[in-house]
Structure 1
């Protein structure tokens, strides 16, 4: 089971410090990351995404994990709640809805991302919740969290790869 955690802050500088803390927690094995990013919204309302791979000029995740993370991130953060989407994206959104990442969760995430604000988005395959929460408490902010089952993640990855059986 993976945890999808969004830590929202009114200030990008605070989000950057929280991001650095998450990376320290990863090195201390408090959290095992599948994906992590800082998402910020500038004064014009434009969304910017900063990941460790972009910062370090390398790919830190396996291709499957990276693809799953990117898809989940895109559907949770960047996909509009209303709009015309293709059947494949619609199916992925439906699967996320079944896993607890529904429009309500996505709307809460989007509400954290007002112009000038930022969030740290964490997808973790393992987390020592008490230790993680204690370390992140000093940054304040708003915490949103949902769990993704292993079976659901596998189904998402298969659907993303186009290998899921069609009904």
Structure 2
């Protein structure tokens, strides 16, 4: 089963660094990165920069349309305000059908701000102990996941800030 997670990093480069580590671990067969997208937001910019890991030939890849819709709802709809009205409600509803709730969108919107970055990851087959050791002390915050409560608690523990 694929896991969709969203991670926040305390620097604009943090998500890119994490994705590079994950791609290296994938080449070592420690995780299967099915799809990913990075949001980086430099201080002083009005909006974040997004980048998708395009390999839609892979089984389970979400594709640019999904990421574009998700990032549009999170980062750009607030800028447009109520100008798009009912269409926004329909989009929120369609995202809820795939497990992306209004609460998730609001949570990401509040946490991913200028000076931070986020990694949105669809993955499977992780060798959890090896992934955990690779990211020890990475100062990443798990924003959302479709993991069970027990699995989520273990991930949060693994990525906790170790001062």
| Coarse TM-score class (shorter-chain normalised) | 0.5 to 0.7
Q: CA deviation at 1:93?
A: 2.7
- Gapped runs of 5+ residues in structure 2? 148-163
> Counterpart of 1:151?
none
Equivalent residues of 1:41, 1:114 under 8 A apart: yes
Q: Given the two structures, how large is their TM-score scaled by the length of structure 1? A: 0.65
State the structure with bigger RCO (CA 8 A, min sep 6), 1 or 2: 1
> Counterpart of 2:48?
47
> Counterpart of 1:66?
63
2:14 is equivalent to residue 14 of structure 1: yes
Q: Given the two structures, how large is their TM-score scaled by the length of structure 2? A: 0.66
Equivalent residues of 1:76, 1:109 under 8 A apart: no
Flag the 1:16–1:41 CA change in 2: closer, same or farther, 3 A. Answer: same
Aligned CA-pair RMSD: 3.0
Distance 1:69 1:2 in 2: 16
Equivalent residues of 1:26, 1:33 under 8 A apart: yes
- Gapped runs of 5+ residues in structure 1? 54-59, 149-167
String of CA shifts for 1:85-129, please: whole Å, max 9, x gaps.
Answer: 565x644532432443211111111222111111121122x1426
Q: Number of aligned residue pairs: give it.
A: 140
> Counterpart of 1:140?
139
Q: CA deviation at 1:135?
A: 2.5
> Counterpart of 1:23?
23
SS at match of 2:113: coil
Question: Structure 1 stretches (4+) deviating beyond 4 angstroms?
Answer: 89-92
